[in-house]
Amino acid sequence: MGLWDRDVCEIFIAPDPHVVERYLEFEVAPTGEWLDVAIDLTSGTRQSDWEFNSHMTTAAKTAKDQVIMAMRIPWNHWIHQPQQGERWRVNLFRCVGKDPNRGYLSWQPTRTPEPLFHVPKAFGWLIFR
Q: How far apart are CA 127 and CA 101, in angstroms?
A: 35
What letter does residue 100 receive in the DSSP assignment? Answer: T
Question: What one-character-per-residue DSSP string does 87-99 give?
Answer: EEEEEEEEEES-T
Interatomic CA distance for residues 14 and 21, integer angstroms: 8
pTM comes to 0.91
Beta partners for residue 59, in sequence order: 70
* Mean of pLDDT values over 112-125: 92
Domains for the chain: give ranges and CATH numbers: 3-127 (2.60.40.1190)
* Structure confidence at residue 57 as a pLDDT band (50, 70, 90): very high
Selected residue with higher pLDDT from 113 and 99: 113
Largest CA distance in the chain: 45
Query: What are the pLDDT digits (tens) for 1-21?
Result: 677 777 899 999 999 999 999
Query: What pLDDT score was predicted for residue 1?
Result: 63
Does residue 56 surpass a pLDDT of 70? yes
pLDDT of residue 38: 97
Q: Express each pLDDT in 80-107 by its tens digit.
A: 999 999 999 999 999 887 767 788 889 9
**Higher pLDDT pick, 22 / 114:** 22
When pLDDT is averaged across residues 43-63 and rounded to a whole number, the result is 94
Low-confidence winner among 50-59, 71-80, 94-103, 119-128 (lowest mean pLDDT): 94-103
